[in-house]
Amino acid sequence: MSISTSVLSELLQALPTLRPQIYFKASLTALSHAMEDQVLAATMEQPLVIASFQRERFYRQEAHRYQRLAQRSNQIYVLSAPETDFANSSEYYEKIAFEHDDALSQEWHLVVIAQNYATCLVCRESLGSLAKNQQLRDINPSLDMDTARRFEGIWTAERGVSLKAAEFLLDRILAYRPELADKIQQARQRFGIGENKSETKIQQLNEYACDIDTDPFVQRLVTYLQASQYKLHKAYRSIAAQARKERLVNTISTAIRRSLDPHEILQVATQELGENMEASRCLIYRAQETDAKAVIEHEFLSPGVSTVMGKTWLLENNLLFREVVLQSEGIYVIDTQTDARITSSQELAKLVKQYGIRSWLMEPVFYQGRLLGIVELHYCNETSHDWHAGDFDLVEAIATQVGVALIQAEAYANLEDLNKQLEALDRTRSNLIAITGHELRTPLSTIQVCLESLASEPDMPPELQQVMLDTALADSERMRKLIQDFLTLSNLESGRVEWHPESLSLQECVDLSLSRIRTRFASENLPKITTQLAKSLPLVKADGDWLVEVLAKLIDNACKFTPTDGQITIKGERNRKKMVEVTVADTGRGIETHLLEIVFDRFYQEEGALRRTTGGTGLGLAICRQIVNGWGGEIWAKSNGKNQGSQFHFTIPIIEGSQEQKPLKVKSK
Ligand code: ADP
Rounded CA gap, 363 and 355, in Å?
19
Is the separation of the CB atoms in 162 and 111 below 8 Å? yes
Q: Which of 381, 269, 396, 394 is nearest to 334 (CA)?
A: 381
CATH number assigned to the domain with residue range 243-412, chosen from the 4 options 1.10.940.10, 3.30.450.40, 3.30.300.20, 3.40.50.10440: 3.30.450.40
Is the separation of the CB atoms in 423 and 387 below 8 Å? no
User: Which atom of ligand 1 has the smallest separation from the CA of 600?
Assistant: 6
Kindly state if the Cβ of 287 falls inside 6 Å of ligand 1: no
| β pairing state of 359-367 and 370-379 | antiparallel
Coil, strand or helix at 50: strand
Mean pLDDT by groups of 10 residues along the chain of 669 residues: 88 92 89 91 89 94 93 95 94 94 94 92 82 59 62 92 95 95 95 78 68 77 83 83 82 78 85 91 94 94 95 91 92 94 92 95 92 95 86 88 83 85 77 74 87 86 89 88 86 86 94 91 86 90 95 95 95 89 96 94 68 66 95 96 95 82 43
User: Which atom of ligand 1 has the smallest separation from the CA of 606?
Assistant: 16
Rounded CA gap, 65 and 62, in Å?
5
Is the separation of the CB atoms in 293 and 313 below 8 Å? yes
User: Which atom of ligand 1 has the smallest separation from the CA of 558?
Assistant: 23
Terminal Cα distance for the chain, rounded? 111
Q: What is the CA radius of gyration of the chain?
A: 49
- 212-217's contacts with Cβ under 8 Å and 24+ in sequence apart are 212/38, 212/42, 212/43, 212/44, 212/114, 212/116, 212/117, 213/41, 213/42, 214/38, 216/34, 216/37, 216/38, 216/41, 216/42, 217/34, 217/35, 217/37, 217/38
DSSP structural state of residue 334:
S
Task: State pTM to two decimals.
Answer: 0.46
Strand order in the sheet with 359-367: 298-301, 281-286, 370-379, 359-367, 331-333
- Amino acid identity of 429? R
DSSP structural state of residue 372:
E
Distance 633 CA to ligand 1 centre (A): 20
- Amino acid identity of 305? V
Please state the domain extents for the chain: 7-213, 243-412, 446-492, 497-653
Is the separation of the CB atoms in 342 and 254 below 8 Å? no
Instruction: Find out if CATH 3.30.565.10 is the number for domain 497-653.
Output: yes
How far is CA 466 from each of CA 47, 102, 140, rounded to the nearest angstrom?
142, 127, 100
Distance 509 CA to ligand 1 centre (A): 21
Name the region of 610 (left: φ>0; alpha: ψ -120 to 50; beta: rest): alpha
Q: Which of 379, 380, 362 is nearest to 371 (CA)?
A: 362
Distance 551 CA to ligand 1 centre (A): 14
Q: Which of 621, 642, 646, 647 to mutate to test the pocket of ligand 1 (most atoms within 8 A of CB)?
A: 621
DSSP characters for 514-577?
HHHHHHHS-GGGSPEEEEEEPTTPPPEEEEHHHHHHHHHHHHHHHHHTS-TTSEEEEEEEE-TT
Kindly state if the Cβ of 557 falls inside 6 Å of ligand 1: yes
Torsion of CA 139, 140, 141, 147, to 10 degrees: -100
Please report the pLDDT score of residue 664 as a whole number: 44
Q: What's the distance, CA 118 to chain centroid?
A: 64
Nearest CA to ligand 1 atom 14: 605
Is the separation of the CB atoms in 587 and 566 below 8 Å? yes
Is the separation of the CB atoms in 601 and 590 below 8 Å? no
Please report the pLDDT score of residue 132 as a whole number: 62
